[in-house]
Structure 1
Amino acid sequence: MTFFEEFNSDNLSGVAYKNLTLKKAVIAFFAMTGNSTIADLCKELNLSAPKVNNLLNDLIADGLVKDYGKMESTGGRKPNIYGLIPESGFFLGVDVKQNHINIGLTDLQKKMVKITEGQPYSLKNSHESLQELCQLIKDFISNSSINKDKILGIGLNLSGRINYATGYSYSFFHFNEEPLSKVVENYIGIKVFLENDSRAMAYGEFTTGIVHHEKNVLFLNLDYGLGMGIMINSQLYYGKSGFAGEFGHMPIFNNEILCHCGKKGCLETEASGWALTRLFKEKLTEGSSSILSNRPLNEIQLSDIIEAAGKDDVLAIELIAEIGEKLGRGIALLINIFNPELVILGGSLADTGEYIRLPIKSAINKYSLSLVNNDTMLKVSKLGEQAGIIGACLMVRNRLLTNTMSL
C-alpha cells in the first residue's frame, strides 16, 4: 500500500498506523526544516538509523522524498542529504467571502502553485449556495492539472461561529446532522478541515506575512463583518469551543440596530462593512453627492464604496473615516485588555489605507491607556486577499502532518 493509500485509509491500525504516523513525521520535519541527513532524522524522531532508512526508502518509492546526494563535509565520510519532492503533495485552501471566493493550491514546501482570486459567488445559508460552493471547488481541482489523489486535504474558511475540532458551522450551512466538513468531504472526495475565516487569515499573516519576532499579536479582519485572530505567546488562541475572536459582537453602542447575531449594540452595527454600506445608502437617499449617485441603491456593494474612496469620492472618504473612528474605540479596548505587540488591519476595509488607518490610530490614542498602546504597533496586512488562502493551506498541512498548530 502506497503512502497516499495509507493516508486516505480509515482502517489502519497497529504497525501500519504507527508507520504512517512516522512517515508523516518525516515529511513534517522536511517541510519545516528543509533537507536533512539520516542522523538529523534519528535525533529528531528518536529512531534508529535502520528504521529511518526504511521509512525513507518507502517514501522515495512513493515519490515523496528524494536522495539529493552527498553533503559538503570538512572531513570524514560525507552523509547523504534527503528532502521532499515539493510537487508530490498539495494542500487546497478555500476562502469564502460574501460575494466571491478565493482558492489556491500550495505544495509541500508552502509554494503557491495555482490561485484563483475573486471567483464570483454569493454566500447564502441555503442548500443551493452550499452545492454551488462545492461545485466551484471541484471545478478548480479539475482545471488545476494536479492529480486529485495528490491533494492531501482542503482548508475551508467561513465567517461566523466555527468549531474547527468537530467540523460544525453554526452560522452557515448548519442544516445537516453531519458536520459541514464531512458533508463537503463526501461531495468532493478529499478530507476537509473547517475554519473561521478571520482565524485562517490571521494564521497566514502570522506565519508568512508581516509578523516577524512578535509573540502577542491581534489580526483584525475588517470586512462586511468584523473578526479577529489572536496569537498569544506564539500560539493561535481558540478559546473553549473555538469561538474566540468575535470582535464585532462586543456590545459597545447603545442603539436599536439589530446585528446579524440577533443582538443590539454590537460594534459591527456601526463600525463594519455592513454599517458603511448602510450609511452610504442612507446618505445618498438624503441627497448627498457621490460618483455612485446614479447607481441603483440595491446594486451598491462594499467594494464599490472602497473603489470610490480610491477615486477621491468625498462621501466615501468621510464615512470610512467615521467607521474608522468607531473601530478605533473597539481596538483601544482590545489593546487595554491584551497589551499586544502588534495589531494587524486586514480585510477589504484595510484596502482603504490611510483613510481608515489614521482615524483608527487617532481613536486608539484617545481611548486606550497610553502606557499600554505605546508598546503596540499598528500595521496593515502584507498578504491582503491571499491571507486566507495561505492560512487555510498551512493549517491543513500542519494538522495533517503534525497534529499541532504551532507557529
Structure 2
Amino acid sequence: MTKAKKMTPSFFEEINDETSSGVAYKNVNLKKKVISYFAHIGNATIAELSKELNLSVPKITSLVNSLILDGLVQDHGKVDSTGGRKPNVYGLAPNSGFFLGIDVKKNHINIGLTDLQKNLISDFDQFPYLLSNDEDSLQELCLIINNFIASLPVPKEKILGIGINLSGRINYAKGRNYNLFHFHEAPLSKVIESEVGIRVFLENDSRAMAYGEFCSGTVNDEKDVLFLNLDYGIGMGVILNNQLYYGKSGFSGEFGHIPIFQNDIICKCGKKGCLETEASGWALLDMFKQQLRDGATSMVTHKGIPIDDLLLEDIIEAAHNDDVLAIELIAKVGKRIGKGIALLINIFNPELVILGGLLSSTEEYLLLPIKSAINKYSLSLVNNDTQIKFSKLGEQAGVIGACLLVRHKLLDLDTSLNAKPPKNTSFVYA
C-alpha cells in the first residue's frame, strides 16, 4: 500500500465527532471493527480481515489504508505462504493510541495510561488530593489531570479518551454524578472535557475496579463475581454471567446502603441503619476516635496526631504494627461486613467475592471475622461454592478498569465481557 496525503478527517477526529451520520458514521464503525479485531485477535492479512468481518477486499483495503495514514495500523511485511504471492500482514502500530485512567479517592488520585493493547505504559502515579463537593475541588482535579497529560512523553492528540472513577451514583451514559460535582447544568463529563480537551467518560469507582479485576486481576474463569470496595464507604461492582451489571439507571451496587442495622445513626446518604453506619471505614474511624476519647490507648497517640485529624490510613498502619485497639475494631467491623456479605451470597450465590479497597489491606485481620460471619449467617449449601479472595491489582484496579472501559466504550469493543482479554495481558511500565 502506498501512503497518500490525508484529506479526510483522521480517526482520532472521527471518533470524537458526535454529529457524524450516514456514510461517515458507517465508515468510522467499520474502522472500529478492524481495530477491535487487531486488539482481540492479533495481526491479520487483508483476506483474513475480509472473511472475519464479512467485508469486501477493496473495502477492507480502503479501511486499513486509512488507518495506516492515521498511524493506528502498521504494515508488518510479508507473511509465509504455501504458494503464490505472499500477502502482507497488518496489526496495531505501537504507541498509536492511549487511554487515561483517573481513580479519585478521598485523599489522593491514582492515574495511569494504557495503550490500545492494554499495557500500562506510564508510571502508576498517585497525587495528593482532598475530595470535596465544591467547585475548587473540581478545578483542582482538572488541574492535576492537565499537568499529568503535559508531563507525558506522548502527544496529547493520541490520548483517545479519559476514564474518571468517582464514588456515588453515576449514570455513565449521561455523564452525570448525582452525588459529587452536581452543580452544573451540563453533564459533569462535558464540564471536565471542556477543561482538559479530551473525551471524558465517568464511571462508578467500584464498578471500574470490578472490571479491572475481572479482566486482569483475581478472576480466572468465574462468570458470577461480586467486587466489594471496602474503603471509607462501601461500594460494589456486580458481574453476572460475564456481564457487567449496571441496573436500569446505572446505579447498581449500593451495597453500603442496605438497611441492615436498627440504629439511629444518620448515614451519609441521609437515611438510618445503612450498612455503612457500622461496617465501613467511616464507622471504624468514628469508633476508634471515640475509644481514644474514652481513654483507650493506641500507638497512634504517640505520633502526636490530634484525634480529630486521624485518618483511616492511620488505623490500618497501626494494625500492621500489631496495635491491639486497631486490630480489635477492624475485627468488629469485619464481622458486620461479613453479615452483609452473607446476605449477598444468599441472594446471588456467586462463584467469587473479591475484597478490595483500603480496608482490604488489613488482610487476615479483616478476612477471618468476615468468614466467621458468612458461616454464621449464610446458608451452607449456598456459600460452599463461593470463594472469598483479596484484590490482586490493589490500588491499580480502578485505573486499569477505567482505561479498559473507556477503550471498549469509545471503540465499541465487546463490553459484555464474553470476549474477555486473555490472562497473559501484560500491565507493564515503560
Name the TM tier (shorter chain): over 0.9
For 2:390, the equivalent position in structure 1 comes to: 380
| Contact residue 102 and residue 115 of structure 1 kept, 8 A | no
> In the alignment, residue 189 of structure 1 is paired with which amino acid?
G
For 1:365, the equivalent position in structure 2 comes to: 375
Deviation at 1:116, TM superposition (A): 4.0
| Contact residue 124 and residue 396 of structure 2 kept, 8 A | no
CA distance in 2, matches of 1:292, 1:33: 53
Q: Structure 1 unaligned segments of length 5 or more: list them.
A: none
Matches within 5 A, 1:311-350: 311-350=321-360
For 1:302, the equivalent position in structure 2 comes to: 312
SS in 2 for 1:88: coil
Matches within 5 A, 1:20-99: 20-74=28-82, 77-99=85-107
SS in 2 for 1:104: strand
The answer to whether structure 1 residue 228 and structure 2 residue 272 are counterparts is no
| Contact residue 105 and residue 112 of structure 1 kept, 8 A | yes
The answer to whether structure 1 residue 140 and structure 2 residue 148 are counterparts is yes
Closer/same/farther in 2, CA of residues 79 and 257 from structure 1, 3 Å limit: same
| Contact residue 212 and residue 402 of structure 2 kept, 8 A | yes
**Identity over the aligned pairs, expressed in percent?**
67
Q: Structure 1, residues 300-339: CA drift from partner, whole Å, max 9, x if none?
A: 1011111111111111111111110000000000000000
Closer/same/farther in 2, CA of residues 77 and 364 from structure 1, 3 Å limit: farther
CA distance in 1, matches of 2:202, 2:214: 19
Deviation at 1:93, TM superposition (A): 0.5
CA distance in 2, matches of 1:318, 1:81: 61
For 1:246, the equivalent position in structure 2 comes to: 254
CA distance in 2, matches of 1:216, 1:54: 41
Q: Structure 1, residues 156-197: CA drift from partner, whole Å, max 9, x if none?
A: 100010011111111100001111011101111111101000
| Contact residue 164 and residue 203 of structure 2 kept, 8 A | yes
Matches within 5 A, 1:160-171: 160-171=168-179
For 2:13, the equivalent position in structure 1 comes to: 5
The answer to whether structure 1 residue 187 and structure 2 residue 199 are counterparts is no
Q: Structure 1, residues 229-256: CA drift from partner, whole Å, max 9, x if none?
A: 0001001000000000000000000011
CA distance in 1, matches of 2:100, 2:113: 5
Q: Structure 1, residues 116-149: CA drift from partner, whole Å, max 9, x if none?
A: 4331001111000000001100010001122111
> In the alignment, residue 409 of structure 2 is paired with which amino acid?
R
Deviation at 1:9, TM superposition (A): 2.9
CA distance in 1, matches of 2:123, 2:179: 27
Deviation at 1:68, TM superposition (A): 1.2
Deviation at 1:41, TM superposition (A): 1.6
Moved more, 117-126 or 151-160: 117-126
CA distance in 2, matches of 1:222, 1:84: 38
Deviation at 1:212, TM superposition (A): 1.2
CA distance in 1, matches of 2:26, 2:164: 28
CA distance in 1, matches of 2:343, 2:125: 34
The answer to whether structure 1 residue 267 and structure 2 residue 275 are counterparts is yes
Q: Structure 1, residues 230-283: CA drift from partner, whole Å, max 9, x if none?
A: 001001000000000000000000011110000010000111100111111011
| Contact residue 42 and residue 49 of structure 1 kept, 8 A | yes
CA distance in 2, matches of 1:224, 1:118: 18
> In the alignment, residue 415 of structure 2 is paired with which amino acid?
M
CA distance in 2, matches of 1:192, 1:256: 40
CA distance in 2, matches of 1:154, 1:309: 36
The answer to whether structure 1 residue 278 and structure 2 residue 303 are counterparts is no
Deviation at 1:349, TM superposition (A): 0.5
SS in 2 for 1:67: strand
Q: Structure 1, residues 197-237: CA drift from partner, whole Å, max 9, x if none?
A: 00000000011111111100000000000000000100100
**Bigger RCO (CA 8 Å, 6+ sep):** 2
TM-score relative to the length of structure 1:
0.97
For 2:411, the equivalent position in structure 1 comes to: 401
| Contact residue 36 and residue 413 of structure 2 kept, 8 A | no
SS in 2 for 1:277: helix
The answer to whether structure 1 residue 121 and structure 2 residue 132 are counterparts is no
Q: Structure 2 unaligned segments of length 5 or more: list them.
A: 1-8, 418-430
Moved more, 79-88 or 185-194: 79-88
CA distance in 2, matches of 1:339, 1:244: 17
